Structure 1
């Protein structure tokens, strides 16, 4: 074998080839698959190959996005220098001038409009170090209360539901390795086959082991194809469906009464309300036959172990937090939590959707999942940062609410980091017009995204191949993303940009880091004793162990694979059950004569979020180069919609033009449009700005629309 390898390298050298290997991990979904990018150079061209490497989560697998993830990082459209908009056109400027402009404009805005007139809009795709630093930057360098991030549009419903029910939020209460051994699995509103493809191996193994899989989705997605039972729920009716499960579980004696009594509070209220419901009425509300509800509930209640997974289909609704709480009620009622092969999993959407929400990007949060309104928490973080606790700003508002404040000119300046709210936010036209009102917008990005095009100043950020740091996957497993590819042009890392802005604002001593590991060591201290405790995690341990699941309070701790074995995170160690009512006002927007169809949205396997990165990948664009509307053939014929033609889709907010795609896999009262396209194909132009009152999640998954042919 050694002789063969030597011959291989000799042959390459003789042909004038050289090879570089870049260890990293995929920047896209929350599985955070490890990979190596191999760059082979010869005198005429470079060839790239992505190879999956072994790790605890994906076991060396890569999906089509991971295989082609490098393509955007080497794309010719990468921003390589600072650019200033002059007379409507971007012109290259020096970093020195860019920083001077930020200093002058930020100081002017706060002098004219107040400290809170500056806002920071963050991202769930940046590293833990950068998420932590961005929160510190907002509160220490800018002294503003206005910071939030795009994860608010992704994970807030599940996070708030878990925090209220269990006393803490970590995406999975168990590890991925337990899934194949669970006897029954409920996948509610999650299309993992397209959104997190490398997780499918765990569910496929479970099916091979005889697990019963229940998928709840208005569409027969690729995920639903593995199900033993697919419940085609009417959009917006997830909470009501969960009440149907609870009713059957109660009536058929499938409750774990000992667990309920010892480990929970609030059950009597749930029991009283659910007992008053009629299963046939629930079937009418949800569009799911009563017998299917009975089958699903019996299966989950009768088996000795079971797990429930939710994602955006359940969560991105104006009652998303309550809907998730009702699924958690089912787990508690049956005693399937804190035990082997039993628990909850919120399928995180973005690459660092878990870690990015733990360390200070949220409006109400400080590092370690501490509360910004808790006096002791404020004092602890102030001590770590070396400031007076009285100087820490208070609680701000959510991401979309910041857009409303911009529209009202209460916020007049913004630092936007690695996010694209013009495409990702609901009521997208409103967001676009609001951002145009800012006195000064600074965007940090890889490309001139639709939002960056509105900026006054654009700063070039490093890609995943260049930017070392930690990420936290959907289990709560902290991983170290190695990155040794040199930054092209004058590109800087996000953490370097934050530090340099802080320095010109006179706050340099608080941001004097020389590498990502120094930031992580401060993050460890800031998280110590908090809910999301990273203190025992170090770069050296991550390199040796491949990942550690938090909480990990000290260097000897192995990490916490399964939560809640002896008690929940509330002071009394009990979970909180809550009756979730079948509210006739939910969803807030229902079809009528003018807008007769439900619209829901989601992802396709070849693209990620607003498509800024994946639309730069030739291999991925070739698979899906335009948006489409999935519609049942009977519905299409009713509205004179032919297959594979351009059509108009309209809501009360606006319209988009997409291509029709007939499919019998979707409900006849529902249509589906993916989220990855911008401009006239941006589905979020159709979405209302109504928010979940508990977590401020927009109702992406339920809108009323009409469709018509373009003549």
Structure 2
């Protein structure tokens, strides 16, 4: 008997195997690295995830999403070959036919309507190489000016504000490790405890070291509970709050006059404005107390070191650019920048939100953060790409405006990669109707997302476990992403799809890359001398812990801390901003008496295309909800955990109620990770920031009502009829 057992054990071992693959989480901007262990035991597969203890950013941590990230990559719903829609049904076709059809459709439409009749829509989760290549493909392969990406909805307010203030936009001005020594930290509109959990230990270290932490948010979150002071500000009034804090800093003489005189400009007009405002008036506008403003300002002003972090809560507004600039005024006024544990950070949301916006996906941008309207920049990039400068298109429009162009039928076809605008855009009902007008929609995705469902053609792409490349994390550290898992047979990398499509269009001589590193080396050259200079960064260097940009040459260690000696402006000085007390673009009315704000959950990422296909994650958070204060719920006859309808003048959505005291009485909160009738962006406000074109996601006037069960509704109608 023992011999028989031994025989079966030996047979089982022979039939078992183990593959250890290095990878990097595809979700938030921390870009935590890990090892995925794939075990094959007879006919079964088992996966284990181990965080990388040597990772200099995550320090060996993974959150719940990172631990389950592999689940969507192995999900059986993945698209594994090109799909063409015939009479509403998906039909499998070959790659050759798919590429031929795209080339034929695009060429035919451009011949009839011009080069700009084709639009390109990218994503902030693409690798640096693929983001760069998509921008080049739009301008060289298609010669269209209409390209933008979903990062417009993420980082545009902070990016434009940082560029205007400092002359450069890198998510964080300092390394994460410096947070531990900051004595006062302001977290404005960021719920890092749930959105970027692996960053939290840095803030815990700071608190242990005596830091005073201020959280600004209209709702109570895991982050606000961690803070020493929670300012429960009315949505859309953050700029007013920052102005009130500056008023206190000036009046109580917490400003660094030497720093202001030597390293900044434009303070006098700001000072004149501050002298005309009242802290009491601002407190009333923000729905908070004057004491809260004073306590926050004093702690920040008195602290020897301090840092301010902003995120979507203060940025996703039609005045997001100005709001961030008001917070940057606080940084400049106190001189808390360019020194150890003193700086600013825009907490990037998407996996490659930083790198994705640096190398050409934005409508007005060329690689290296160059401007597509600047003649010198155009000439430099044209030479790199081997085209005449006159052949490069000029700037296009932002992501939402691109949809408006489609609605007006100025754009006839769309090539979409790494995004799901039917769910992620504001005024989503309008977006869906606009996309229905396209003559031809091509979507590159791993799954049939809500947008892919509308496509004429879907092209299958690889997952993060299969697609090699570089990413730029929230610190500005360029890191390497291993791709050691074999892709499904007919699935291609994004960069391969772009190159093969360029070949079908007769532009293959501009896209002669044999491997992804070849693209990065061209990116390095294209970024040389630009604001986002990657020239000194090589694959060998990024594989060894990563390199901070700017990095102008191979002997440069990378810029760990920005602005130690000067800013990146022409005169080396940072620019103060004069603005006005900002009024929300949409106010509560008699018909729509409540303000809706939106945000993320720990378990999900963006539109949920990936995380809703992770069994563990969807089990933890199965459906969306709306947070409503008990007093408000009582007023509108809403019980906890029941279906409610949220309506704005743009559309409606049905979700379950979550009655909680964590939200302001005048405010509702809902997550944005679901589509169809549960898509909260069906009601959100598409008003755009005049500078950065960021939509007003965070302030939408709405009404709320209980959804009556069908039987009850019929019974009521019967009584009325009788």
- Which moves more between the two structures, 47-56 or 611-620? 47-56
CA offsets per residue over residues 28-52 of structure 1, 9 Å max, x none?
0000000111000011210001111
State the SS of the aligned residue for 1:223: helix
**Aligned to 1:675, which of 647, 672, 677?**
672
Confirm or deny: 8 A CA contact 1:441 1:456 kept in the other structure: yes
**Aligned to 2:631, which of 631, 634, 640?**
634
Q: What do you get for the CA RMSD once the two structures are aligned? A: 1.0
1:130 aligns with 2:92: no
State the SS of the aligned residue for 2:687: coil
Q: Which residue of 2 aligns with 1:597?
A: 594
Confirm or deny: 8 A CA contact 2:336 2:342 kept in the other structure: yes
CA offsets per residue over residues 630-675 of structure 1, 9 Å max, x none?
1111111111110111111111111111111111111111110001
State the SS of the aligned residue for 1:607: coil
State the SS of the aligned residue for 1:253: coil
Confirm or deny: 8 A CA contact 2:629 2:663 kept in the other structure: yes
Confirm or deny: 8 A CA contact 1:118 1:411 kept in the other structure: yes
Confirm or deny: 8 A CA contact 1:645 1:660 kept in the other structure: yes
Q: Which residue of 1 aligns with 2:98?
A: 98
Q: Which residue of 2 aligns with 1:574?
A: 573
Q: Which residue of 2 aligns with 1:377?
A: 377
Residue 21 of structure 1 deviates from its aligned partner by 1.1
Confirm or deny: 8 A CA contact 2:37 2:48 kept in the other structure: yes
| Paired residues for 1:248-263 under 5 Å | 248-263=248-263
TM-score (norm 2): 0.96
Q: Which residue of 1 aligns with 2:19?
A: 20
Q: Which residue of 2 aligns with 1:44?
A: 43
Q: Which residue of 2 aligns with 1:454?
A: 454
Q: Which residue of 2 aligns with 1:556?
A: 555
TM-score (norm 1): 0.98
Residue 311 of structure 1 deviates from its aligned partner by 0.1
CA offsets per residue over residues 91-130 of structure 1, 9 Å max, x none?
0000010011011000011011110011100000010000
Confirm or deny: 8 A CA contact 2:63 2:198 kept in the other structure: yes
Q: Which residue of 2 aligns with 1:463?
A: 463
CA offsets per residue over residues 123-178 of structure 1, 9 Å max, x none?
00010000000000000010111100000010000000000010110000011010
Q: Which residue of 2 aligns with 1:141?
A: 141
Q: Which residue of 1 aligns with 2:695?
A: 698
State the SS of the aligned residue for 1:533: coil
Confirm or deny: 8 A CA contact 2:685 2:699 kept in the other structure: no
Q: Which residue of 2 aligns with 1:413?
A: 413
1:323 aligns with 2:323: yes
Residue 14 of structure 1 deviates from its aligned partner by 3.0
**Cα distance in 1 for residues equivalent to 2:374 and 2:578:** 28
1:565 aligns with 2:564: yes
| Paired residues for 1:60-139 under 5 Å | 60-139=60-139
Confirm or deny: 8 A CA contact 1:239 1:580 kept in the other structure: no
Residue 310 of structure 1 deviates from its aligned partner by 0.1
| Cα 1:12–1:203 shift into 2, 3 Å | farther
Confirm or deny: 8 A CA contact 2:80 2:490 kept in the other structure: yes
Segments of structure 1 that go 5 or more residues without pairing to the other structure are 1-9
- Which moves more between the two structures, 47-56 or 69-78? 47-56
State the SS of the aligned residue for 2:695: coil
**Cα distance in 2 for residues equivalent to 1:657 and 1:305:** 46
1:504 aligns with 2:501: no
1:606 aligns with 2:599: no
1:662 aligns with 2:659: yes
Residue 11 of structure 1 deviates from its aligned partner by 8.3
**Cα distance in 2 for residues equivalent to 1:642 and 1:141:** 56
| Paired residues for 1:181-196 under 5 Å | 181-196=181-196
Confirm or deny: 8 A CA contact 2:588 2:595 kept in the other structure: yes
Residue 559 of structure 1 deviates from its aligned partner by 0.6
State the SS of the aligned residue for 1:657: strand
**Cα distance in 2 for residues equivalent to 1:37 and 1:646:** 40
1:235 aligns with 2:235: yes
Confirm or deny: 8 A CA contact 1:219 1:666 kept in the other structure: yes
- Which moves more between the two structures, 458-467 or 573-582? 573-582
Confirm or deny: 8 A CA contact 2:167 2:567 kept in the other structure: yes
| Paired residues for 1:294-373 under 5 Å | 294-373=294-373
Could you list the runs of 4 or more consecutive aligned residues of structure 1 that deviate by over 6 angstroms after TM superposition? 10-13
Confirm or deny: 8 A CA contact 1:12 1:18 kept in the other structure: no
**Cα distance in 1 for residues equivalent to 2:532 and 2:381:** 14
CA offsets per residue over residues 588-647 of structure 1, 9 Å max, x none?
111111111110000000000000000000000001100000111111111111011111
CA offsets per residue over residues 260-313 of structure 1, 9 Å max, x none?
111111111111111101111001000121001100000000111100000000
CA offsets per residue over residues 451-487 of structure 1, 9 Å max, x none?
0011111000000000000000001100000101111
Q: Which residue of 2 aligns with 1:290?
A: 290
Q: Which residue of 1 aligns with 2:56?
A: 56
Confirm or deny: 8 A CA contact 1:174 1:344 kept in the other structure: yes
State the SS of the aligned residue for 2:686: coil
State the SS of the aligned residue for 1:660: strand
**Cα distance in 2 for residues equivalent to 1:45 and 1:646:** 41
| Cα 1:282–1:575 shift into 2, 3 Å | same
State the SS of the aligned residue for 1:354: helix
Q: Which residue of 1 aligns with 2:433?
A: 433
**Cα distance in 1 for residues equivalent to 2:579 and 2:608:** 36
Segments of structure 2 that go 5 or more residues without pairing to the other structure are 1-8, 709-722
**Cα distance in 2 for residues equivalent to 1:562 and 1:337:** 9
1:31 aligns with 2:7: no
Q: Give the total of aligned pairs.
A: 699
Residue 514 of structure 1 deviates from its aligned partner by 1.0
Q: Which residue of 2 aligns with 1:5?
A: none
Q: Which residue of 2 aligns with 1:7?
A: none
